[in-house]
Amino acid sequence: MSDDNTTHFGYKTVRTEEKADMVRGVFDSVASKYDIMNDVMSMGIHRLWKRFAIELAGVRCGQKILDLASGTGDLADKFAGLVGPEGLVLMSDINAAMLSVGRDRMLDHGHVGNIAYAQINAEKLPVADNSLDLITIAFGLRNVTDKDSALASMYRALKPGGRVLVLEFSKPTNKPLEKIYDVYSFNLLPKMGKLIAGDAESYQYLAESIRMHPDQETLKGMMENAGFERCDVHNLTGGIVAIHRGFKL
């Protein structure tokens, strides 16, 4: 960032108030092909990352969960089955096109009664203080303009004993893997985006946004600064992805 009025959009410097609309444009473009691209980009491994995140979440029957940046609902789908009819999953996204695709998918899977939908900006959660058992955000925090505000808002909304779970791309833990990953991200990923989703630029942005996201220790420190305790980090696939978990005690 060059000053308080600017932020990064991938490698570009943009005005802070413009970023949310620019991110929205990216996901408007890719929403219809999002699931296919996830499978292709990760060779299906994203399903294992999400499965491990769900296990770490420790969801129980009757709990109230907010799934931020829910996209097409991979986490929300599983959570709705785990919380049962007494619980509630609020599936949310800042992007209406993504939320619409996710809502259709939940209805197709028969989820009614214990799932709700809302278009939400993670920086200002429109929920009561101390009201949620779990907040999750998978592959969405890197797109949030003010991550510190978002983490503080999550902390406020959680009940004492509640927890946050952040599943996000991170920094590879060894140099050879990092070099291979760079070649993949900046050469192959935009080409796949153009071939499958008809949009190379959006996937170029996604690759850049991953590199601009805080690394494992930096994000852990940001969570601790927001008030979270017992924060831990779980590196997956050599640190290409990491799960950060923190508790409100």
How confident is residue 3, by pLDDT bands cut at 50, 70 and 90?
low
Share of the chain above pLDDT 90, in %: 77
Please state the rounded mean pLDDT for residues 10-36. 85
pLDDT of residue 1: 42
pLDDT of residue 23: 86
CATH 3.40.50.150: does it fit domain 6-173+205-247? yes
* pTM of structure: 0.92
227: left (phi > 0), else alpha (psi -120 to 50), else beta?
A: left
SS (H, E, C) the chain: CCCCCEEEECCEEEEHHHHHHHHHHHHHHHHHHHHHHHHHHHCCCHHHHHHHHHHHHCCCCCCEEEEECCCCCHHHHHHHHHHCCCCEEEEEECCHHHHHHHHHHHHHCCCCCCEEEEECCCCCCCCCCCCEEEEEEECCHHHCCCHHHHHHHHHHHEEEEEEEEEEEECCCCCHHHHHHHHHHHHHHHHHHHHHHHCCHHHHHHHHHHHHHCCCHHHHHHHHHHCCCEEEEEEEEHHHCEEEEEEECC
Residue 247 bridge partners (DSSP): 163, 229
Please state the rounded mean pLDDT for residues 112-118. 96
Residues in the chain, how many?
249
Q: What is the pLDDT of residues 59-88, one digit of tens each?
A: 999 999 999 999 889 999 999 999 999 999
Domain boundaries, the chain: 6-173+205-247
How confident is residue 167, by pLDDT bands cut at 50, 70 and 90?
very high
How confident is residue 116, by pLDDT bands cut at 50, 70 and 90?
very high
Please state the rounded mean pLDDT for residues 178-197. 89
Average pLDDT, the chain: 93
Residue 2 has pLDDT above 70, yes or no: no
Residue 205 has pLDDT above 60, yes or no: yes
